[in-house]
Chain A
Amino acid sequence: MGIEEKLPSGFLLSTIEGLAGYMRKSSMWPATFGLACCAIEMMAVGTPDYDIARFGMERFSATPRQADLMIVAGRVSQKMAPVVRQVYDQMPNPKWVISMGVCASSGGMFNNYAIVQGVDHIIPVDIYLPGCPPRPEMLLNAILTLHDEIQKMPLGVNREKAARAAELAALNATPTHAMKGLLA
């Protein structure tokens, strides 16, 4: 991405990581991607009762070119899927995605021909937020979790190491349908 990607690992990199993470999380601009019912709860988060402005995020950017965060709020239909991908591609790095609601996370209650069963079929998702629709406080929780992750996000060589470790863990993990004997 920038110069921070090219620093050698060490004390300087970890300081820059902390600083960059702090800067990035403190003023993320979400892209308006409200699709359905979850969009109303996302709009409610922007209003005085729940107030996303305390996190510097009240400026919902209509144009994806100036947005950092895409909150996919609502069910993604087959017709809408290319548009989602296009908007995601138009966002500049660094970008994050919260899939808000069960319809965006997994297709929700609509397991049918018209709905993409989870927006992670189309774009990479950082935070999955279940709920139908999730309360505004739940969305704020998701945003704060994302903030924590961004704060801790490794850069440069650390990032490559972390990505490889995550990939190895995912490849070695038990698939969901093979998990036996786990209640709750």
Chain B
Amino acid sequence: MSDAKNDPGSTRAKGPGDDREELAQEYADNLPAAPGTTPDPVVIGERRGMFGASSGQDTTGYGGLRSEILLPGASPRPYGGYFDQLADSLERALVGGQASWSEAVEWVTVDRGEMTIHVRREHLVPVVRVLRDDPELRFEICTGVSGVHYPHETGRELHAVYHFLSITNGSKRVRVEVTCPDDDPHIPSIVSVYPANDWHERETWDMFGIQFDGHPALTRILMPDDWPGHPQRKDYPLGGIPVEYKGASIPPPDQRRSYN
């Protein structure tokens, strides 16, 4: 079925998916054609219903809607722009090192004009070291770690996203994404390669509970030192209190009805 859609030479009747193909051509640089049309999109959850209604008291019928939430997955070559050369340089630089390209890299996504290299967490430090040291790559600045929590992506709940900037190679940017499961939230620390990541990793530990092995002093940085829990995880409540107005009481933002 998907072969027929992607095969430009096929002669089938014009269907609802064809307009999306045209749009895909038009916005190829900036958007994935439509959610789910990159070859292997990643499922990170499921959207149930609309307008905050789920089946039960809902009479609109929208409560029965079930749609998967898809993030762009692996992109096929050629990536476009400087990304191909970047991937080739990285592959070449990893040869003979602690990990080869196929061992370290899970897949590469090119989406909205940005390249994301999904790296296996065991091999993060050699990849990052090569990114910094290899003359063709030379990403001197790591702008930090950003944690993201996908509670429904079992086995890969916690993502740590690193962004790199190369000043000498004309302001190229690349993103490295590492995942770890909730029950084993360990990712090697890259402070030995990029000392600037010190506080960023502390913040990601504080907010998400990702433990960075090898960090010199992984302690809370934003919350008080004895705070329980990791606030920016999706299973941590927003923590607000209901607000009293004249004649009414409004619940805090995470308990209000919301659009899905």
Contacts and interface: CB of A to CB of B under 8 A. Distances in A.
B239 A112 contact: yes
Q: Is the interface of B mostly helix, strand, loop or mixed?
A: loop
Contacts of B238: 111-113
Contacts of A79: 223-224
A113 B240 CA distance: 6
B231 interface: yes
Interface of A: 78-79, 107, 111-114, 117, 175-182
Nearest to B253: A111
A111 B252 contact: yes
B12 interface: no
Contacts of B249: 177
A145 B231 CA distance: 40
A177 B224 contact: no
Contacts of A114: 223, 231, 239
Contacts, number: 46
Contacts of B243: 111
B132 to A, nearest CB: 34
Given A78-B224, A79-B223, A79-B224, A177 B247 contact: yes
Interface string B212-245: 0000000000011001000100001111110111
Nearest to B250: A111
Q: Is the interface of A mostly helix, strand, loop or mixed?
A: loop
Nearest to B237: A113
Contacts of A179: 246-247
Which 8 pairs across A and B sit closest by C-beta, in order of nearness? Answer: A113-B239, A111-B240, A179-B246, A176-B244, A79-B224, A177-B244, A180-B247, A112-B238
A177 B239 contact: no
A175 B246 CA distance: 9
Nearest to A79: B224
Contacts of B248: 177
B223 to A, nearest CB: 7
Contacts of B245: 176-177
A79 B231 CA distance: 14
B230 to A, nearest CB: 11
26 contacts: A78-B223, A79-B223, A79-B224, A107-B241, A111-B238, A111-B252, A111-B253, A112-B239, A113-B231, A113-B240, A114-B223, A176-B244, A176-B245, A176-B246, A177-B244, A177-B246, A177-B247, A177-B248, A178-B247, A179-B246, A179-B247, A180-B246, A180-B247, A181-B247, A182-B246, A182-B247
